A and B are shown apart, each in its own frame.
Chain A
């Protein structure tokens, strides 16, 4: 039933993203990427949180089901982080002139990519399932607690050379016109639901594989 809802939301988002006037007139059509890029980046962070929470539950219960949940969330998170990086640099190339500028936000998403990469590198270096689950759960927690430090450090070290170009400034105050928010918030919700849907599918697939194998 909610799949129908998801379909409706996403169709609405995709269509109006193209039909409505572009969010930032100064940049023209490319600013429509905003409707895609920001929700995708948000989901990549959400996935990290979900992965860490399930890692904790795995360590408490030693039930492999939670490891499946944790690693699938991380997989999706990796994909979305990659998409966010790419869409972000496309946007950057148009609005700031170059694909990569070491802007604080770019640095943050890059580090998130590094963390996901490290997580999977760790998993691939271990053969036994239980060990793999335990050690990657520990790493998931360790890397998550570094996040507050990163949030504090990155803006101090990487000065954004450009004025706040996005429609949402650093304090997350909404500076969008009503028309834009009408598309943006549904997009945010739509992508979030999309994440949970893909995640539940992945978890089902891997759970079946797990049961079949062991």
Chain B
């Protein structure tokens, strides 16, 4: 049994490493995701940055940027395979769920790299003073996990259609809505300096969202992948 488990981990890592290598050499997703968020941030900073915004609005803006950045870059991981016809070999070579997890972790890392660059920029440009960093980072991380998990399975669905890009946003929005609301709430609470335990409800919610999304993704992915 531990043998099997370690072979799963090796394969997931293999898929993950391949995605990183591919991305590093072509930079499609990373470029588009970074470009998108930097441009959006600049637009926001110039237009609304000069007004004094409430913490609620600022928290909401952060997650709006993250949501749309995810839309612009996280679907590549499947669309690229379909368009370049590399899906077939991949299908033949490994069990679907291992492939899903490898790509999911890749999307997560992509999102986190994006955040390392954009979140500090956001905090500076929009003059956000975070008072409870622990809570802020916890919500950011868990929210990103949720964002990546829902987006990855929907990206898989969308990659099999004729429309791809736009469809991703239309399909993801209703499903990500609860995640966005709670992440915004949690971010706001953290910025305003509430103690960690008052953000516990949000943290618990985010946890359950992630668990449900990942479980559902793993149960449904094979069906989508084999189409």
Q: Which residues of B contact A126 (CB under 8 A)?
A: 160-162
- A selection of 27 A-B contacts at a CB cut-off of 8 Å is A111-B174, A115-B174, A117-B170, A122-B171, A126-B160, A126-B161, A127-B162, A131-B227, A135-B160, A135-B227, A138-B157, A141-B216, A141-B220, A142-B153, A142-B154, A142-B175, A142-B220, A145-B216, A146-B174, A149-B178, A149-B179, A152-B178, A153-B177, A153-B182, A154-B181, A156-B185, A157-B181
- Give the interface of B toward A (CB within 8 A): 153-154, 157, 160-163, 167, 170-171, 173-175, 177-179, 181-182, 185, 205, 209, 212, 216, 220, 223-224, 227
Partner of A139, one of B157, B173, B185, B212: B157
Q: Would A121 and B178 be within 8 Å (CB), given that A135-B157, A138-B220, A149-B209 are in contact?
A: no
Taking A142-B220, A145-B216 as contacts, is the C-beta distance between A134 and B227 under 8 angstroms? Answer: yes
In Å, the complex CA distance between A145 and B182 comes to: 17
Contacts of A131 in B (CB 8 A): 160, 227
Neighbouring B residues of A134 by C-beta, 8 Å: 223-224, 227
Indicate if the CB atoms of B181 and A153 lie closer than 8 Å: yes
Q: Which residue of B lies closest to A158 (CB)?
A: B181
A182 at the interface (CB under 8 A from B): no
In the assembly, what is the distance between CA of A156 and CA of B201, in Å?
11
Chain B residues with CB under 8 A of A156: 181, 185
Measured in the bound complex, the distance between the Cα atoms of B220 and A153 in whole Å is: 25
Complex Cα distance, B220 from A143, in Å, reads 12
A195 to B130, CA, bound (A): 52
A111 touches B157 (CB 8 A): no
Q: Which 3 A-B pairs have the closest CB atoms?
A: A149-B178, A125-B163, A125-B161
Contact A125-B177, Cβ < 8 Å, known A117-B170, A142-B220 = no
Distance between Cα atoms of A91 and B170 in the complex (Å): 29
